[in-house]
């Protein structure tokens, strides 16, 4: 078992997501930075959909009760094994009784911890990803125990990788979404020529941007949305849907982020700057 001695700010179990139920209003969920989660699993030769821990901003304190191997990717939150610093984006051996903790936040927003074989929590609708109201919890709490398999004979082929730099200024590549053509020439100019600041209202459901591109009165029926859909509110603000975002919405869908850009955005937070770049 993995014993949660301290929960951290917001730590969840995530995998690739919950597919096939959007017609019932169930969001995809899954790791916010899919690339980082898949990398953590790849370093341990796990299947890419294996469940990992997603740690947001402030890390938990975790005690392992079985031998295993683990990896950490994504945000650098100064990981420590038994109070000794360890490298981010590395693979390391875990012995029964070891404690993994985190310290000073250096960069990024979300870190991923994988163990050999993954965390074996209950599946709900074919996914282990936490999401209220489907799952019992929406984040880890002190005292919880998370099952995983003991591993003693694994020999990692990769022990470390060089991470991508996480800059506070980000260019988001996006394609035209269904209501893009409703934008005026002035709105399009603002959308692609000015920087936008991530607002305090940012979480696994959506990221709001502070600046506006102009009010509108476009009426439309509630229509399907996806993670990465950029909506325009009547007041002129932009909302970018993330992994736990709703499956339908009534605001115009003006852009659709690339998967890579959605992953990069998941590592940014309040006050960071983004620009939009239109792709074909």
Longest dimension (CA), the chain: 63
Q: Which domain-ending residue is among 131, 146, 161?
A: 146
Q: What is the pTM of this model?
A: 0.95
Q: Are 141 and 7 members of one domain?
A: yes
- pLDDT computed for residue 94 by the predictor: 97
Give CA separation, 87 vs 70, 147, 161, 260, in Å. Answer: 12, 25, 10, 24
Instruction: Give which of 239, 78, 88, 106 is closest to 168, Cα–Cα.
Output: 106
Q: Which domain-ending residue is among 89, 115, 146?
A: 146
Helix locations, the chain, DSSP H: 34-43, 185-193, 259-265
Q: What is the pLDDT of residues 92-132, one digit of tens each?
A: 999 999 999 999 999 999 999 999 999 999 999 999 999 98
- pLDDT computed for residue 221 by the predictor: 85
- pLDDT computed for residue 136 by the predictor: 78
Q: Which residue has the tokens 């402030």?
A: 58
Listed in sequence order, the residues at least 6 apart from 86 whose beta carbon sits closer than 8 Å to its beta carbon are 72, 79, 80, 92
The residue range of the domain holding 38 is: 2-146
Query: Per the domain annotation, does 115 fall within a domain?
Result: yes
Using 50 as the pLDDT threshold, list the residues of the chain that sit under it.
none
Query: Per the domain annotation, does 188 fall within a domain?
Result: yes
- State both tokens at 6: 């301290």
- pLDDT computed for residue 168 by the predictor: 84
Q: Are 6 and 129 members of one domain?
A: yes
Q: Which residue has the tokens 């916010």?
A: 32
* Residue 88 and residue 76 in contact, taking contact as beta carbons nearer than 8 Å: yes
When divided into structural domains, the chain yields a total of: 2
Query: Per the domain annotation, does 163 fall within a domain?
Result: no
Q: Are 209 and 270 members of one domain?
A: yes
* Residue 134 and residue 124 in contact, taking contact as beta carbons nearer than 8 Å: yes
Query: Per the domain annotation, does 155 fall within a domain?
Result: no
Neighbours of 163 (CB within 10 A): 17
Query: Per the domain annotation, does 156 fall within a domain?
Result: no
Cα distance between residue 251 and residue 231, in whole Å: 6
Q: Are 133 and 175 members of one domain?
A: no
Query: Per the domain annotation, does 152 fall within a domain?
Result: no
- pLDDT computed for residue 44 by the predictor: 97
- pLDDT computed for residue 264 by the predictor: 97
Q: Are 129 and 173 members of one domain?
A: no
CATH number at residue 265: 2.40.100.10
Helices (H) and strands (E) in the chain, counts: 3, 20
- pLDDT computed for residue 230 by the predictor: 98
Q: Which domain-ending residue is among 112, 146, 180?
A: 146
């Amino acid at each position: 078992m993995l014993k949660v001695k301290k929960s951290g700010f917001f730590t969840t179990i995530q995998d690739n997501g919950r597919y096939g139920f959007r017609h019932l209003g169930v969001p995809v969920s899954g790791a916010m930075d899919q690339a980082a989660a898949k990398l953590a699993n790849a370093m341990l030769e796990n299947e890419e959909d294996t469940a990992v821990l997603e740690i947001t901003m402030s890390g938990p304190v975790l005690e392992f009760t079985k031998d295993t191997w683990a990896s950490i990717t994504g945000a650098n939150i100064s990981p420590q094994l038994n109070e000794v610093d360890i490298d981010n984006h590395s693979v390391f051996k875990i012995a029964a009784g070891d404690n993994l903790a985190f310290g000073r936040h250096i960069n990024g927003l979300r870190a991923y911890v994988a163990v050999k074989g993954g965390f074996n929590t209950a599946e709900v609708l074919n996914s282990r990803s936490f999401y209220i109201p489907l799952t019992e919890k929406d984040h880890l709490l002190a005292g919880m125990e998370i099952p995983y398999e003991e591993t003693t004979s694994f020999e990692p082929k990769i022990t470390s990788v060089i991470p991508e730099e996480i800059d506070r200024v980000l260019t988001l590549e996006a394609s035209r979404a269904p209501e893009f053509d409703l934008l005026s020439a002035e709105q399009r100019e603002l959308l692609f020529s000015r920087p936008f600041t991530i607002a305090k209202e940012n979480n696994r459901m959506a990221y709001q941007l502070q600046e506006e591109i102009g009010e509108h009165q476009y009426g439309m029926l509630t229509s399907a949305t996806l993670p990465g859909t950029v909506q325009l509110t009547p007041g002129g603000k932009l909302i970018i849907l993330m992994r736990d975002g709703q499956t339908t919405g009534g605001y115009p869908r003006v852009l659709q982020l690339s998967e890579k850009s959605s992953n990069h955005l998941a590592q940014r937070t309040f006050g960071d700057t983004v620009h939009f770049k239109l792709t074909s």
